């Protein structure tokens, strides 16, 4: 692969941590009578830009392209609590650019102009304007309209698709796959499986393409947070092939390299499930790691269920890619929080 030839900004000082999760592994093994897989975590929640998350890796390539094209404003789309929109706004601040957003109200009535979480951060980061549109809106057309308005003012917009999930953005997770394999070599740790959230597709597709490009032979399971399995697998495979070609991978990405589990979406995108709440609480209480309720919470629910159902063999080493997003927790306080026991003052 030849990523060095592609312009890239750098928003993170070094590799993100690769860590074991011994307490979570032990808790789940105890449920199974004492034997279970060894769970690890790749901490992409600790990437650079405001509050971190997987979109930072994608923006390194996308913003470099925006700057090369002379853009002064980043325009992107996402849900009303979009981590991607937060990080795009942060990248704009870092580069001295402006940012405008199109926020899709995917669940009717879910937009609250006074909401906490990422929506609070949009304002703090100085987003110029956020246009809220109903589900099903032609989002690219909405961005094009903003670009035309900016052009009339003598400005230049750069349009970023939802999640930064085009081939250029997905190069960020080709780079992550290379980083992960370097870490496994340096640490002397080999993995048998990798689990990651699968949403707009850039992260999942980039990892698949990157691991294929370095001949890692590491099976990847994407836990869908929105789409049904067949449609998601087709989308991920198409994008993985596109990004592999861009990265200079000579051989086609096998169809069977893309595996999606869609049993953890629940009633719909961003809508809570009991399994998600349990996963968020379990990660926090065993490892002190915060998940988000939309992506990593549901992906972790799939990981935990896979352990309990025996889909990961005892002794297998499984790495979970934490794609960030914990800022959204604060907009789901009533769903994920439990009251802390309190008592009187002690002597």
pLDDT, tens only, 74-123: 999 999 999 999 999 999 999 999 999 999 998 888 888 888 888 899 99
For 33-78, how does the pLDDT look when each residue is reduced to its tens digit (9 = 90+)? 999 999 999 999 999 999 999 999 999 999 999 999 999 999 999 9
Band of pLDDT at residue 347, cut at 50, 70 and 90: very low
Domain layout of the chain by residue ranges: 3-52+166-336, 55-163
254-287 pLDDT, tens digit each: 999 999 999 999 999 999 999 999 999 999 999 9
Residue 117 is predicted with a pLDDT of: 87
**Mean per-residue pLDDT of the chain:** 95
Q: 3-52+166-336 and 55-163 share one CATH topology?
A: yes
- Residue 333: the pLDDT is 86
The whole-number pLDDT of residue 182 equals 97
Angle, alpha carbons 263-178-63 (nearest 5°): 85
Examine the pLDDT at 163 and tell me if it is beyond 90: yes
What is the structure's pLDDT at 337? 81
Return the CATH class of domain 55-163.
Answer: alpha beta
Kindly list the distances between the CA atom of residue 339 and the CA atoms of 186, 278, 282, 342, in Å, as whole numbers in the listed order.
42, 15, 15, 9
3-52+166-336: CATH, from 3.40.50.720, 3.40.50.1100, 3.40.50.1980, 3.40.5.10 = 3.40.50.1100
Q: What are the catalytic residues?
A: 82
pLDDT digits (tens, 9 = 90+) for 224-240: 999 999 999 999 999 99
Residue 29 has pLDDT above 50, yes or no: yes
pTM of the predicted protein model: 0.95
Residue 172 has pLDDT above 80, yes or no: yes
Q: Which residue has the tokens 């794609």?
A: 323
Q: Which residues contact 56 (CB under 8 A, 6 or more apart)?
A: 11, 12, 44, 47, 48, 49, 87, 91, 172
Integer Cα distance of 233 and 194 in angstroms = 16
For strand 259-261 and strand 38-43, is the pairing parallel, antiparallel, or unpaired? unpaired
């Amino acid at each position: 692969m030849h990523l060095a030839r592609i312009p890239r900004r750098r928003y993170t000082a070094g590799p993100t941590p690769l860590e074991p999760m011994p307490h979570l592994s032990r808790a789940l093994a105890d449920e199974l009578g004492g034997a279970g897989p060894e769970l690890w975590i790749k901490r992409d929640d600790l990437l650079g830009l405001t509050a971190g998350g997987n979109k930072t890796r994608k923006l390194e390539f996308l913003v470099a392209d925006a700057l090369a094209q002379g853009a002064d404003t980043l325009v992107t789309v996402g849900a009303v609590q979009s981590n991607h929109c937060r990080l795009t706004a942060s990248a704009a601040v870092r580069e001295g650019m402006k940012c405008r957003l199109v926020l899709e109200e995917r669940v009717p009535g879910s937009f609250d102009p006074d909401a906490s979480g990422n929506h609070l951060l949009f304002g703090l980061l100085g987003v110029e304007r956020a246009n809220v549109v109903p589900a099903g809106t032609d989002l690219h057309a909405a961005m094009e309209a903003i670009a035309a308005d900016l052009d009339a003012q003598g400005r230049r917009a750069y349009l970023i698709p939802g999640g930064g999930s085009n081939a250029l953005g997905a190069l960020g997770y080709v780079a992550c796959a290379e980083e992960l394999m370097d870490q496994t070599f340096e640490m002397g740790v080999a993995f048998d499986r990798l689990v990651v959230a699968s949403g707009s597709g850039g992260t999942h597709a980039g990892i698949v393409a990157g691991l294929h490009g370095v001949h890692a032979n590491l099976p990847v399971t994407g836990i869908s947070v929105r789409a049904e399995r067949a449609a998601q697998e087709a989308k991920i495979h198409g994008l993985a092939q596109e990004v592999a070609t861009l990265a200079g991978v000579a051989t086609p990405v096998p169809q069977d390299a893309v595996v999606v589990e869609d049993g953890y979406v629940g009633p719909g995108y961003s809508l809570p499930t009991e399994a998600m709440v349990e996963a968020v609480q379990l990660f926090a209480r065993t490892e002190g790691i915060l998940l988000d309720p939309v992506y990593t919470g549901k992906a972790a629910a799939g990981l935990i269920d896979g352990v309990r159902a025996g889909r990961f063999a005892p002794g297998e080493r499984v790495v979970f890619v934490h794609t960030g997003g914990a800022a959204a927790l604060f907009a789901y306080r009533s769903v994920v929080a439990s009251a802390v026991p309190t008592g009187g003052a002690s002597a």
